[in-house]
């Protein structure tokens, strides 16, 4: 079976902050932020959860990790997962091209037939099990825009 085609359209780059997006002039808050700032109000184990999550994403292939004011996003061509540090846990959201009904997703928002945001919480590194490894790989493929054939 042939590989699905991904979009070859160049990414738009903000002339102010340099961030790249699949849509020209996409709204965003320009700024450069650090992981240190982002996790400054979190307990130490929250950053360890983040590090394990980031390693699992990197195992899928090249990724751009973008710390923002309130979250950290992961991007291949498009942004496919975000993590929001809290004091004692992480909130997160995967973008999938299909809906998943699973108890680990406490909310699913559908934006279009192939654009579904799945909300989750991570309280410990043990939460990052084989289910999450599979979802990370699936979301990574969405980040590559493999679902756009």
Question: Residue 13 — pLDDT band, cuts 50, 70, 90?
Answer: confident
pLDDT for the residue numbered 33: 85
Q: What are the boundaries of each domain within the chain?
A: 32-143
Q: Name which of 20-24, 110-114, 144-148 the model is least confident about.
A: 20-24
**pLDDT value, residue 3:** 44
Q: Rounded distance, CA 128 to CA 148, Å?
A: 28
**Could you tell me the pTM of the whole model?**
0.83
Rounded to whole angstroms, the Cα distance separating 57 from 29 reads 24
Q: Quick one: CA torsion of 128, 133, 135, 137, rounded to 10 degrees?
A: 140
64-67 and 20-21 strand pairing? unpaired
Residue 41 has pLDDT above 90, yes or no: yes
What is the mean pLDDT of the segment spanning 31-41?
91
96-140 pLDDT per residue, tens: 999 999 999 999 999 998 899 999 999 999 999 999 999 999 999
């Amino acid at each position: 079976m042939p590989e699905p085609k991904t979009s070859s359209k160049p990414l738009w780059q903000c002339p102010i902050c340099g961030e790249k997006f699949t849509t020209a002039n996409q709204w965003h808050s320009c700024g450069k932020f650090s992981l240190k700032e982002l996790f400054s109000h979190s307990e130490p184990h929250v950053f360890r959860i983040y590090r394990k999550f980031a390693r699992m994403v990197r195992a899928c292939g090249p990724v751009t990790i973008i710390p923002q004011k309130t979250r950290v996003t992961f991007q291949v061509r498009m942004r496919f997962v975000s993590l929001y540090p809290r004091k004692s846990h992480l909130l997160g959201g995967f973008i999938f091209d299909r809906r998943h009904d699973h108890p680990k997703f406490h909310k699913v928002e559908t934006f279009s037939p192939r654009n579904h945001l799945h909300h989750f919480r991570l309280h410990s590194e043990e939460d990052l099990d084989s289910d999450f490894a599979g979802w990370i790989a699936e979301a990574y493929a969405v980040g590559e825009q493999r679902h756009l054939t």
